[in-house]
Amino acid sequence: MKVLVVNCGSSSIKYQLYEMPEKRVISKGLVERIGEEGSALQHHYADEIRRLEGQIADHEEGMALILETLTGPDGVLETAEEIGAVGHRVVHGGEEFTGSVLITPEVIASIERFADLAPLHNPPNLTGIRAAMHELPDVPQVACFDTAFHATIPEVAYTYALPYQLYEKFGIRRYGFHGTSHRYVARRAAELLGIDKYALNCITIHLGNGSSMTAVRGGRSVDTSMGLTPLEGLVMGTRTGDFDPAILFYLADRGYDVTSLNKLCNKQSGLLGISGKSNDMRTLLQRSEQGDRRAKLAIDVFCYRIKKYIGMYMAVLGRVDAIVFTGGIGENASAVRANACSNLEGLGIALDAERNEQTVARREGAVSTPESPTAVLVIPTDEEAAIADDTYRIMRSNPCLTT
């Protein structure tokens, strides 16, 4: 079965076409700058890259262009009817969705309802769903939720110390994000260590422009750093992560309104805010080596927060079989891994400097010493493969959909 995986942003569509159950990537690509000048589709097939430039007005046009590229004279499909299902990444599923589901009108209504909790993500995700349904009206569509892996977090971990009525009335609680990535690397870590996936205790660390950590006990998420929204937790590219909320009241008394405070916390803070230069870790590492003090400070604060969460989650789990780094920064920035894990030998975490330095650029493996009681692993994430797997599984469990 061929499964198309779609991940829609506000002005982009990432896609990958899989042959299932082999999880073989047939082709993939990106439509970017939708509704803007300089719209383009970049399509990868085998060792070839095709770039098509031209005005793409909306996501429906973007989806139509993707299907045209997949089925055109040089395409990988004869017709779009070869696509057996479409899997969509959806960021927020609230408490309602504890796993991936077949998309129905009721599911769409629920995703709309949760848009208030993820205003930057759920609306674009919905746009992609509707565009795919318009272009492929007879093809089953599946929603895969970032929050679903964290549905197992216990009440003691997801409850905020606010009046309980706010949870009952508005659903204010910890939900967590990046769940598809955390689940994928936790499962892969179990395979690498030869441990049953439901016996593994690990700490997964997804580091990118958005960053989060998860405590996994017995293969299930029991705590995670992001909260009601993706703002809480680690220092990120432009997000604050944890900070004293009274700072907002202090700034409000000095003329900041809700819009400006939202922008401050989500768009102007994090690595960018501390360094004053960039939210890109590659740039900051280079500037730090050149003596830029604030670039170094931004990196050190970023890594210090990771180290604190490692300590907290070791206390939560008791036994930790592995610490897993993933995401663009986690997979490629050996200096960040070394900084975050420094001086943790007393907790049973010992990095091998040479292994750590060599494990970059989509390489997978252990970067800890053989004697380290807790393994430290680098595992490139593959959220698209996880979505394809969920979509295929749902299709196989509903035979009427595949006939």
Which pLDDT does position 402 carry in this prediction?
59
pLDDT of 129 over the 70 cut = yes
Residue 52: band (very low, low, confident or very high) from pLDDT cuts 50, 70, 90:
confident
pLDDT of 349 over the 80 cut = yes
pLDDT of 164 over the 90 cut = yes
Residue 10: band (very low, low, confident or very high) from pLDDT cuts 50, 70, 90:
confident
Mean pLDDT in the chain?
94
Residue 362: band (very low, low, confident or very high) from pLDDT cuts 50, 70, 90:
confident
For the domain covering 196-383, report its CATH number: 3.30.420.40
User: Cα 81 vs. chain centroid, distance in angstroms?
Assistant: 30
pLDDT of 162 over the 70 cut = yes
What is the rounded CA–CA span in Å between residue 301 and residue 293? Answer: 12
Q: Is pLDDT larger for residue 349 or for residue 12?
A: 349
Mean pLDDT computed over 114-139: 87
Mean pLDDT computed over 19-28: 94
Q: What is the pLDDT of residues 234-266, one digit of tens each?
A: 999 999 999 999 999 999 999 999 999 999 999
- Asked whether the domain spanning 196-383 has the same topology as the one spanning 2-145, the reply is yes
| Structural domain spans, the chain | 2-145, 196-383
Just list the catalytic residues: 146
What is the rounded CA–CA span in Å between residue 364 and residue 282? Answer: 20
Residue 12: band (very low, low, confident or very high) from pLDDT cuts 50, 70, 90:
confident
Which pLDDT does position 117 carry in this prediction?
79
Which pLDDT does position 66 carry in this prediction?
92
Q: What is the pLDDT of residues 274-317, one digit of tens each?
A: 999 999 999 999 999 999 999 999 999 999 999 999 999 999 99
Least confident of 119-133, 148-162, 328-342, 368-382: 119-133
Mean pLDDT computed over 14-30: 94
What is the rounded CA–CA span in Å between residue 152 and residue 83? Answer: 33
Percent of the chain clearing pLDDT 90 (strictly above): 81
Beta bridge partners of 42: 30, 51
* Level-2 CATH architecture, domain 2-145: 2-Layer Sandwich (3.30)
Beta bridge partners of 225: none
Residue 50: band (very low, low, confident or very high) from pLDDT cuts 50, 70, 90:
confident
Residue 38: band (very low, low, confident or very high) from pLDDT cuts 50, 70, 90:
confident
- Per-residue H/E/C for the chain: CEEEEEEECCCCEEEEEEECCCCEEEEEEEEECCCCCCCEEEEEECCEEEEEECCCCCHHHHHHHHHHHHHCCCCCCCCHHHEEEEEEEECCCCCCCCCCEECCHHHHHHHHHHHHCCCCCHHHHHHHHHHHHHHCCCCCEEEEECCHHHHHCCHHHHCCCCCHHHHHHHCCCCCCCCHHHHHHHHHHHHHHHCCCCCCCCEEEEECCCCCEEEEEECCEEEEECCCCCCCCCCCCCCCCCCCCCHHHHHHHCCCCCHHHHHHHHHHCCHHHHHHCCCCCHHHHHHHHHCCCHHHHHHHHHHHHHHHHHHHHHHHHHCCCCEEEEEHHHHHHCHHHHHHHCCCCHHHCCCECHHHHHHCCCCCCEECECCCCCCEEEECCCCHHHHHHHHHHHHHHCCHHHHC
Least confident of 53-62, 219-228, 267-276, 362-371: 53-62
In sequence order, the 6+-apart residues with CB closer than 8 A to the CB of 86 are: 3, 4, 5, 6, 132, 136, 139, 140, 141, 142, 391
Which pLDDT does position 400 carry in this prediction?
66
Mean pLDDT computed over 365-382: 96
Which pLDDT does position 72 carry in this prediction?
79
Which pLDDT does position 289 carry in this prediction?
97
Residue 399: band (very low, low, confident or very high) from pLDDT cuts 50, 70, 90:
low
Residue 48: band (very low, low, confident or very high) from pLDDT cuts 50, 70, 90:
confident
Mean pLDDT computed over 118-124: 82
